[in-house]
Amino acid sequence: MIIVENVHKRYQTPSGPGPWILQGVSLTIPPKLNVGLIGHNGAGKSTLLRMIGGVDEPNRGNIERHCRVSWPMGYGGGLQGSLTGRQNTKFVCRIHGHNDDIPEKIQFVQDFAEIGKAFERPVKTYSSGMKSRLQFALSMAFDFDVYISDEVTAAGDAAFRQKAADAFKRIADHASIIMVSHGEGTLKQFCTAGVWLHQGKALWFDNIDDALYAYKNSYQL
């Protein structure tokens, strides 16, 4: 279970604090439930996803994680740019206490990411798509209760997108997904419930179709 309680978020700009992106967001995400985050560009979808994944913090409010949550797959941060893909994988293995099976984890990540010789180059030389592939492979190499994905199914070519979709299907029996995607078909394929982020607030829908309807109908308001 993940509890988001009265979360507010804004970022500092050169001229001072920016506008509030999220204002008093509260929701509870039950275990074993796939949830899609929906909203207009700038509504705070990726921001909320990063905070749920622990790579960003709210200005006010609190997020409780009563489960093992992955880092955001597809998010550009979380990788050390001066280290190679191989070195980043070793580092993550050690953080998660997998010192005894590092070679197996490295082989899995290298095979899954399919970035070729770039695996031996610094991550700062990667394209955004290559970073997404590496992060996705890293997440799939470890067992989490909740996997969080930021447009990862849009990364790479059609073959890799299908590979990502197949991986999500495989974890469905033991874990859940919190997903941001601009693809309505992707959200319907993987998600049961939806959260519509609108004007800094979050509205929960038990049915993803209802969340998508509310989102699309908002264009007419």
Q: Return the residue matching tokens 């050169």.
A: 14
- Choose between 152 and 116: higher pLDDT: 116
**Residue 74: predicted pLDDT:** 63
Is 150:132 a contact under the CB 8 Å cutoff? Answer: no
E strand segments, the chain:
2-9, 12-13, 16-17, 22-29, 35-38, 60-65, 146-150, 176-180, 193-198, 201-205
Helix (H, G, I), strand (E, B) or coil at 33: coil
**Residue 156: predicted pLDDT:** 59
E strand segments, 48-98:
60-65
Vertex 41: Cα angle to 128 and 43 (nearest 5): 115
Helix (H, G, I), strand (E, B) or coil at 48: helix
**Residue 11: predicted pLDDT:** 96
Specify which residues 201 forms β-bridges with: 198
pTM to 2 decimals?
Answer: 0.84
**Residue 161: predicted pLDDT:** 79
